[in-house]
Every structure is written in C-alpha cells, then in structure tokens.
C-alpha cells in the first residue's frame, strides 16, 4: 500500500538532507544518528504516520523546539513545493531531468519508485538526454549492488524508467492551468516537475491583472494538491534584474509565498555549478555540483 | 436582528476576552478584543504567522476557543505548541468560495479568536479581472468577516506589493483597505531588525526567538 512505501523510503534518508537548521544536524551527527532509521523504528501496523513519528521522536533526548523542528522536517518530506531559480544556462533543466530519473528508481537505492510528471513549458526536455541519464543511473546502481552484495538489479531497464516518466508540453497558461486542475482531481504521481512556470507568464501577456489572477489560482491549486496527496512539486523560475542591479526571481513578490523552499542555481566555473538555499531551513548554505554526460554529480574535491 | 442591550454585548465580550502576553502589541493595536479585525502584512518569512500563533497560544492557555482558517499547510512545530487541542479547530481552504462557507460555519461557533492565514492568494485569484465578480466576492468576504468579528477578534495575514520608488504597501488593493480596523505592517529595516508600523506612525520592534515572539517599543531612528 501507499503508506508502506512512504515509510520505507523515509527510513534510509540521511539526516543531513532533512530540511533542518545546521546546528541541529550537527547535534544529530555528533551523537551518531546519521540516518532517519537510527531513531525511528516503528511498526508497520500503525496507519497514522504522523502520530507514529511524534511518539518515536518523544523518546529522543532533545529539547522541545528541536523535536518540533524534526517533526516538521519529516512531514515536509511527504509533500512540499520547491522552487529552482536561475539564469539561463545554470543547470535548471538538467537538474529537473536528473530528479525525474532519480524519482523512478526503487526505494532501496534512494528513489521513490513512483511515476513522475514532467510539465515542459520551455521545450528544453530532450528524450535523448533522459535516456543517457537513466542509462548512467542504471550502471551506477549495478555498481552499487555489486559492491554491497545486495541482489542485483535485474528487473530494471531503461525502458521501464522511461515508461514511468510522463511528459506534457504546455504552450499556453490555459493548458498549464488545466494540467494542474486535472492533477487535483486525480494524482497518481510521486513528483511533479514544472519546467519554467515563468515562460507562459512573462512575455506578451495582455492583461496583467489576469496574470495575477491565474498565478494566484495556480498557487492555490498547488497547495491543495500538496495537502491532499503525498506528492512533491518542483517549479523552475526565471530571473530578472531589479532597479538596483540585483538578480531577483520573476513573477513578483506574491509568487514568492508559494514555494516552501527556494534554491538559487549559478554557474561558477566551466563545469562547476552551485546551488544556494534562498528560502528554507538552511538559508544561505550552498552546495556545488557538476554536470557531466551521465547527469548531475558531486564535485570532486581536490 | 433584535437590538441588544449594550450591557449584554459588553458581558458577552468580556466572556470571550483573554489576556495576551504582548502588552506592547496590545497598545499598538489599541486593544486585542472582540469587534476588531487586525491585519498583519509584510513580506514572506518575516514573522506574521509566528505572531498569530503566539496570540493563539495565549488564547488557548486562557481556556478560550480558537479557530484557524489556512490556505497553506501549517507547520507541525507551530501546531504542537497549541494546547489544549480540543479548543482549537483547523480548516483548510483553497478558494474564496470555501473561505466564505467556512466563515459562515465559524459564525455559529462560540470562538474568541479566528485567524485567517494567507488571505492574499485566495482573493488575488478573483480580483482584478474585467468583470466585477472579484469585487462582489470581496464584499462578501468583508461581510462574513464582519459578522464573525462581532463576537471574536479576527486576525488575518496579508502580503505586500511594491508601489514604486522602492516603497511597499499592503497587497489586495484599495478595496481591501477598508476591511481591517487595524493594519500593522512589518518590514525589515537596513540593520535587519523587524519593525512594525501602524498608520506609518507608531513604531515597535518584533523579535522572534525559540520560545516565542517579543514586541518592544523601538527607537525612532532606523
């Protein structure tokens, strides 16, 4: 059942990737609790995972404030809205494709095992690149399963990964609104990735007041979607220069309320990119990554 | 409606009043008691919701009932602090029509405090279009909030928009300006502190810590 799969996936996430402030993460790792499974065991019979998580967290030796933050971080894993902001060429679309492939991987390797919906407004999703990324991910999984003596991944193929990624192309804001509205009616996906929400709203939009209307409606529908289903929403936004010459995300101040967390992507050097958290629990921290032929990978520390 | 004696209304108000732990905020607002609609507006992540939650905690510890109507999912770290749970009701709304239905349902309850969290995306979805449906819905919301405010104090959170020259004003436009009786704008100044303005005159400072929210009188130079 759905609950079983959700519980399984949350056990293996490391504590460093939870949306918690840095001080709390340091405290956890100093005590040796590196994975969520270290402090949450849980029996599979309890259907209300919120109650179960709270009862498990109560047994830990933390202050009340830290326990509440931890509970929030775990709940946010089930559904949240993340916004990726960046200039053109800073890796947003590549990151989206990598996330789409990673979502379809089975749970024991860190994926969700669920279907993914890629809403392509920009036209930047390339099927050949998706095939390349999924082939590289599969070969990485083979390497992992051989080195950890787990049963080999025989029932996964590129074709299966690709059949779990659904794409739809939206050239107009009405098409985008209808896609999101239909998702609210029935959602069978684990993640929804909207590449460039800003494309349909930035150029040649006749009535600016109608634009605010439609954006607010989309924001409402996305929030309703996140509350009712355990689905993660990833939006990609563009940037503009404001009067002082600083870079700001598009679509205005009212749109910045929609996303729970916001990442700013930038291109540092020839093949190094950085992602900085602009809004969220770890605001101000940044991580580097590089984009190679096999997808998004960590930077090699020299 | 039959006219009610003022003494009866005063007794009802007294029964639903509660002491808050933020006396400076009470003085800034001119009193937090039934009959008022108080609006907190400010940019995102500045502490409007935290302030509302702090006041909700005061209401619940005084033993009064409280209702929160929200358009976004509430964080567990905030709702865990709100006890006792049986005096708290949570409603999630995603459109103006749901908001109207919920306000009419809340009117029948005997609550001391109603918090409407995130009213901006709900109303911005209908305002500003060529037909005047948005204005009619805003009037409906105003009437419903007024009906609820007769018996309880209503708090709502709003966002801000830029009105040119780098200045900011409350969102939702001119038609919304008449709805709240008190409007508190929270901005962050050049130093990084959170400053609360009322009518662009009275100034207080907001600080948020682990244990809660503190409001103090700030100095006028910033």
Rg (CA), chain A: 20
Whether A160 and chain B come into contact, CB under 8 Å, resolves to: no
Residue A3 in this model has a pLDDT that exceeds 50:
no
ipTM score assigned to the predicted complex:
0.70
| Residue bearing the bigger pLDDT, A17 or A193 | A193
Model pTM? 0.78
Grouping H, G, I as helix, E, B as strand and the rest as coil, residue A156 is coil
What are the CB-based long-range contacts (under 8 Å, 24+) for A262-265?
A262/A82, A262/A83, A262/A85, A263/A82, A263/A83, A263/A84, A263/A85, A264/A85, A264/A86, A265/A84, A265/A85, A265/A86, A265/A90, A265/A91, A265/A92, A265/A95
Residue with tokens 């708290």: B88
Cα atoms in the 13 Å half-sphere on the side-chain side of A94 = 20
Q: Taking CB atoms and an 8 Å cutoff, what residues of chain A touch B130?
A: 207, 210
**Residue A219's closest chain B neighbor by CA?**
B121
Q: In the prediction, which pLDDT does B129 show?
A: 66
With vertex at residue A76, the alpha carbon angle to CA A72 and CA A80, rounded to the nearest 5 degrees, is 145
**Smallest CA–CA separation between A155 and chain B, in Å?**
38
Q: Ranked by mean pLDDT, which of A74-78, A237-241, B161-165 comes out on top? A: A237-241
Structure tokens at B10: 């005063």
CA distances to A64, B62, B77, B90, B149 from B87, rounded to whole Å, are 22, 11, 18, 10, 18
CA distances to A119, A211, A247, A302, B55 from A205, rounded to whole Å, are 20, 7, 22, 48, 42
**Of the candidates A65, A221, A227, which has its C-beta nearest B73's C-beta?**
A227
- Interface size A-B, in CB pairs within 8 Å, comes to 87
Cis peptide before B84 (omega within 30 of 0): yes
Instruction: Please indicate whether, in this complex, the C-beta atoms of A253 and B162 are within 8 angstroms of each other.
Output: yes
Q: In the prediction, which pLDDT does A156 show?
A: 79
Residue with tokens 């999101």: A180
Residues 169-188 of A with CB under 8 A from B: none
Q: Which of A261, A230, A281 is nearest to A79 (CA)?
A: A230
Residues 31-60 of A with CB under 8 A from B: 50, 54
- Helices A64-76 and A49-58, interaxial angle, to 10°? 150
CA distances to A81, A235, A244, B115, B172 from A224, rounded to whole Å, are 11, 16, 36, 19, 21
Q: Return the HEC string of A26-56.
A: HHHHHCCCCEHHHCCCCCCCCCCHHHHHHHH
Q: What is the mean pLDDT of chain B?
A: 81
Question: Where does the pLDDT of residue B82 fall: very low under 50, low under 70, confident under 90, or very high at 90 and above?
Answer: confident
Judge whether A236 and A197 are in contact, CB under 8 Å.
yes
Q: In the prediction, which pLDDT does B154 show?
A: 92
**Smallest CA–CA separation between B81 and chain A, in Å?**
9
Q: What percent of chain B has pLDDT over 90?
A: 11
Length of chain A (residues): 302
Query: Which stretches of B33-166 are assigned E, i.e. beta strand?
Result: 37-41, 66-70, 88-92, 113-117, 153-158, 160-162
**Smallest CA–CA separation between A107 and chain B, in Å?**
26
Residue B205 in this model has a pLDDT that exceeds 90:
no
| Residue bearing the bigger pLDDT, A116 or A15 | A116
pLDDT, tens digit, 9 for 90 and up, residues B39-51: 998 887 777 888 8
pLDDT, tens digit, 9 for 90 and up, residues A200-225: 888 878 788 888 888 988 999 998 88
A166 sits in which H/E element: strand A165-169
Question: Where does the pLDDT of residue A168 fall: very low under 50, low under 70, confident under 90, or very high at 90 and above?
Answer: very high
Average pLDDT of the segment spanning A185-190: 87
Q: Alpha-carbon distance A35 to A228, whole Å?
A: 27
Q: Alpha-carbon distance B43 to B85, whole Å?
A: 30
Whether B77 and chain A come into contact, CB under 8 Å, resolves to: yes
Grouping H, G, I as helix, E, B as strand and the rest as coil, residue B203 is strand
Judge whether A214 and A173 are in contact, CB under 8 Å.
yes
**Of the candidates A68, A213, A223, which has its C-beta nearest B76's C-beta?**
A68
Residue A1 in this model has a pLDDT that exceeds 50:
no
Q: Alpha-carbon distance A199 to B211, whole Å?
A: 43
Q: In the prediction, which pLDDT does B221 show?
A: 45
Residue B20 in this model has a pLDDT that exceeds 70:
yes
Query: Which stretches of B37-165 are assigned E, i.e. beta strand?
Result: 37-41, 66-70, 88-92, 113-117, 153-158, 160-162
Structure tokens at A242: 């404001």
**Smallest CA–CA separation between B113 and chain A, in Å?**
24
């Amino acid at each position: 059942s759905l609950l079983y799969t959700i519980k399984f996936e949350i056990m293996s996430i490391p504590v460093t990737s939870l949306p918690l402030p840095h001080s709390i993460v340091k405290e956890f790792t100093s005590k040796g609790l590196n994975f969520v499974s270290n402090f949450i065991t849980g029996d599979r019979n309890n259907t209300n995972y919120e109650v179960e998580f709270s009862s498990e967290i109560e047994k830990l030796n933390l202050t009340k404030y830290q326990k509440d933050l931890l509970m929030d971080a775990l709940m946010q894993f089930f559904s949240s809205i993340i916004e990726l902001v960046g200039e053109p060429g800073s890796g947003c679309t590549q990151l989206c494709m990598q996330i789409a492939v990673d979502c379809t991987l089975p749970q024991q390797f860190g994926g969700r095992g669920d279907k993914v919906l890629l809403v392509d407004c920009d036209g930047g999703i390339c099927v050949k690149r998706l095939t390349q990324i999924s082939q590289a991910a599969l070969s990485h999984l083979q390497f992992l399963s051989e080195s950890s003596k787990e049963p080999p991944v025989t029932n996964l193929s590129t074709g299966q990964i690709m059949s779990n990624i659904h794409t739809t192309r939206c050239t107009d804001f009405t098409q985008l609104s209808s896609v999101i509205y239909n998702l609210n009616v029935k959602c069978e996906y684990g993640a929804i990735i909207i590449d460039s929400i800003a494309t349909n709203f930035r150029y040649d939009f006749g009535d600016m007041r109608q634009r605010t209307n439609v954006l607010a409606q989309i924001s409402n529908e996305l929030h309703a979607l996140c509350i009712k289903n355990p689905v993660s929403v990833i939006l990609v936004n563009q940037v503009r220069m404001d009067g002082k010459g600083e870079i700001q995300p598009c679509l205005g101040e009212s749109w910045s309320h929609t996303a729970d967390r916001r990442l700013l992507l930038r291109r540092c050097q020839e093949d190094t990119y950085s992602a900085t958290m602009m809004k969220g629990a770890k605001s101000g921290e940044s991580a580097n990554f590089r984009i190679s032929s096999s997808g998004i990978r960590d930077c090699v520390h020299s | 409606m039959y006219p009610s004696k003022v003494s009866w209304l005063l007794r009802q108000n007294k029964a639903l009043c509660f002491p808050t732990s933020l006396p400076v905020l009470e003085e800034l607002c001119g009193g937090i008691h039934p009959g008022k609609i108080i609006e907190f507006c400010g940019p995102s992540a500045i502490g409007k919701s935290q302030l509302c939650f702090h006041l909700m905690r005061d209401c619940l510890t005084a033993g009064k009932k409280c209702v929160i109507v929200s358009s976004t999912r509430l964080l567990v770290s905030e709702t865990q602090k709100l006890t006792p749970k049986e005096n708290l009701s949570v409603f999630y709304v995603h459109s103006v029509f749901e908001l109207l239905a919920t306000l009419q349902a809340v009117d029948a309850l005997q609550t001391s405090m109603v918090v409407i969290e995130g009213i901006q995306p709900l109303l911005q979805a209908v305002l500003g279009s060529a037909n005047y449906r948005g204005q009619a819905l805003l009037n409906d919301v105003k009437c419903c909030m007024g009906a609820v405010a007769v018996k309880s104090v209503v708090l709502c959170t709003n966002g801000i928009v830029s009105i040119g020259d780098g200045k900011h004003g409350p969102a939702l436009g001119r038609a919304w300006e008449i709805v709240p009786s008190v409007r508190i704008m929270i901005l962050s100044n050049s130093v990084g502190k959170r400053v609360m303005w009322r009518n662009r005159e009275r100034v207080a400072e907001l600080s948020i810590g682990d244990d809660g929210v503190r409001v103090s009188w700030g100095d006028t130079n910033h």
